[in-house]
Amino acid sequence: MSATTTLKLPEDLKKRIVPLADSAGKTPHAWMVEAIESQAALAERRSAFVAAALTAERAVKRTGKVFAFDDVRTYLLTTAQGKKAKRPKPVKL
């Protein structure tokens, strides 16, 4: 369901949006809705990333276990090539 809202834009920004929307084959309204959606999705991904990082940091502090960068890198590169790779083993800090 759509909700109506009013967005007051500075005149210079409005003038910038019109040709950008035209070049994208969209109305200024559609272009702005897409821009807001894009920024909302980006903010949500950033928030999830930070939450995951904080969870990982707590796990490291609790267990003292980490993975060696070179082992993880080798594992990822080998897996990306479609080859079977040995999973890295955690090491204690």
**How far out from the chain centre does Cα 48 lie?**
8
Q: Say how many domains are in the chain.
A: 1
- Whether residue 6 lies inside any domain: the answer is no
pLDDT at position 92 is 86
**Half-sphere exposure (Cβ direction) of 26: Cα atoms closer than 13 Å:** 12
Q: Would you call 65 helix, strand, or coil by DSSP?
A: strand
Distances (CA, A) of 85 to 50, 70, 82: 29, 13, 9
Q: What is the pLDDT of residues 12-67, one digit of tens each?
A: 999 999 999 999 999 999 999 999 999 999 999 999 999 999 999 999 999 999 99
- Whether residue 65 lies inside any domain: the answer is yes
Q: Which of 33, 39, 1 is nearest to 17 (CA)?
A: 33
- Whether residue 7 lies inside any domain: the answer is no
- Whether residue 18 lies inside any domain: the answer is yes
Q: Which residue is it, tokens 């990982």?
A: 56
- Whether residue 80 lies inside any domain: the answer is yes
- Whether residue 41 lies inside any domain: the answer is yes
Q: Which domain holds residue 67?
A: 13-92
Give the pLDDT mean for 58-77: 96
Q: Would you call 68 helix, strand, or coil by DSSP?
A: coil
Q: Is the pTM of this model over 0.75?
A: no
- Whether residue 5 lies inside any domain: the answer is no
- Whether residue 34 lies inside any domain: the answer is yes
